Amino acid sequence: MDSLSCSVCLDLLKDPVTILCGHSYCIDCIKGCFDQEDIKGIYSCPQCRQTFTPRPVLNRNTILTELVENLKKTRLQAAPPDHYYAGPGDVECDSCTGRKLKAVKSCLVCLASYCETHLQPHYESPAFIKHKLVQASTQLQQKICSHHDKLLEVYCRTDQQCICLLCTMDEHKGHDTVSAVVERTDKQEQLCVKHQKSQNIIQEREKEIQDLRQAVDSLKRSAQAAVKDSERSFTELIRSIERRHSEFKEKIRAQEKAEVSRAEGLLEKLEQEVSELRRRDVELDKLSHTEDHIQFLQSFQSLCVSPGSEVLPSITVYPHVSFDHVKESISEMKDQLLDVCKKEMDKISSKGIFLRTFLYII
């Protein structure tokens, strides 16, 4: 075994070559050693240290090549790769000892499962020519009659179960029986019909699924567009209401300012008039107490003919004047607007019933 190993890489020789001293190496290994000695120009054997000048010519060793190849084949035969061994869920070969290989076939006569190697007698020996081989299975016992320990190869149509030949002579005697092969052929035709129907239903459902998904996608896109459009419309509506609100406030303030200015002007005039009247009233009171008759008569004429003696315009003041009518109008407008919004929203919501109808039809 050591003679077939390379002393450089310590593995089986690959493309073995032999140098002048008789030692053999992998061609790549010895080339690498000689390449390192090119500077010195003196080459040596890694094993016996014999030196050579010039660099030795490497010749392929055909005998060692054949020996290595045979050894590789022997190793493969002696130890199959791991994927040939049975693992969890695999059917084990009943003839293997130690670590069991995967079974490739099961025999309904032997009631055993075999790997490729142990299955060969069933192919080569005349003694096994009538044995029935099936796909490797761990349920071989289920293919045997529990009453007679015979192979189940007959089907009882009366009781709709698999039986053995001995069953046809006792408990299933007189029943409608056929071979398992015949019944399989009949059931196979029924199965094909059912399979075709199943495929048709699957295709129909897949088409419905595709249509429904497309409808859902379309609905989502439509809903998104409606949301954006509603946002835009409501934003415009809110802006319009805010603009109207601002205009309305300006009108109220303008009217307030005009009325207040008019009232304040009138108030100033009335206050001046009252002041003048008070002054004349004081003079009249003073005149009434004078003892000088001549002064009284002279002053009386001037005091009696005065602006205060003119007919004053009538002024009606409403102490509870307010904008209540404006508030009532705004409240009424708000109620009307809310009513319109509610009616339109109810109308929009009622149109959503098409979704339920659509899904119900699907």
pLDDT attached to residue 166: 92
Is residue 120 in some structural domain?
yes
Chain segment 130-157, per-residue pLDDT in tens: 888 888 888 887 888 888 888 888 999 9
Whether residues 234 and 257 fall in one domain: yes
pLDDT band, residue 84 (cuts 50/70/90)? confident
pLDDT attached to residue 206: 94
Whether residues 301 and 359 fall in one domain: no
Question: Residue 26 in 3-state DSSP?
Answer: strand
CATH number of the domain where residue 61 is located: 3.30.40.10
Question: Residue 194 in 3-state DSSP?
Answer: helix
pLDDT attached to residue 338: 87
Whether residues 112 and 155 fall in one domain: yes
Domains: count for the chain: 4
Question: Residue 102 in 3-state DSSP?
Answer: strand
Is residue 247 in some structural domain?
yes
Residue type, 290: T
CA 323 to chain centroid, in Å, comes to 60
Chain segment 199-238, per-residue pLDDT in tens: 999 999 999 999 999 999 998 998 899 899 989 988 999 9
pLDDT band, residue 360 (cuts 50/70/90)? low
Chain segment 268-298, per-residue pLDDT in tens: 988 998 998 898 888 888 888 888 888 888 7
pLDDT attached to residue 82: 57
pLDDT attached to residue 205: 94
Whether residues 160 and 225 fall in one domain: no
Give CA–CA dist 121/118, Å, rounded: 7
**Stretch 301-316: mean pLDDT, rounded?**
60
Whether residues 311 and 343 fall in one domain: no
Whether residues 230 and 314 fall in one domain: yes
Give the number of residues written for the chain: 362
pLDDT attached to residue 40: 84
Q: Cβ of 20: how many Cβ atoms within 10 Å?
A: 12
The runs of H, that is alpha helices, within the chain are 27-36, 62-78, 116-124, 180-288, 293-304, 324-351, 353-361
Give CA–CA dist 85/82, Å, rounded: 6
pLDDT attached to residue 309: 46
pLDDT attached to residue 20: 87
Could you tell me the two tokens for 159? 């009781």
Whether residues 341 and 300 fall in one domain: no
Could you tell me the two tokens for 285? 């009171």
Give CA–CA dist 7/140, Å, rounded: 54
Residue with tokens 């200015």: 261
% the chain with pLDDT above 90: 23
Per the structure, the complete domain to which residue 334 belongs is given by: 322-362
Distances (CA, A) of 32 to 26, 43, 224: 10, 11, 72
pLDDT attached to residue 344: 82
The answer on pLDDT for 21 being more than 80 is: yes
pLDDT band, residue 175 (cuts 50/70/90)? very high
pLDDT band, residue 76 (cuts 50/70/90)? very low
Per the prediction, the chain carries an average pLDDT of: 83
Is residue 168 in some structural domain?
yes
pLDDT attached to residue 343: 85
pLDDT attached to residue 149: 82
Could you tell me the two tokens for 358? 């659509």
pLDDT band, residue 314 (cuts 50/70/90)? low
Among 158-167, 188-197, 276-285, 319-328, the least confident range: 319-328
Is residue 161 in some structural domain?
yes
Q: Burial letters for 293-322: b for 16+ Cβ neighbours within 10 Å, e otherwise?
A: eeeeeebeeebeeeebeeeeeeeeeeeeee
Give CA–CA dist 270/32, Å, rounded: 127
Whether residues 285 and 326 fall in one domain: no
pLDDT band, residue 30 (cuts 50/70/90)? confident
The answer on pLDDT for 308 being more than 50 is: no
CATH number of the domain where residue 175 is located: 3.30.160.60
pLDDT band, residue 61 (cuts 50/70/90)? confident
**Stretch 315-324: mean pLDDT, rounded?**
65
Whether residues 122 and 175 fall in one domain: yes
Residue type, 256: E
The answer on pLDDT for 353 being more than 60 is: no
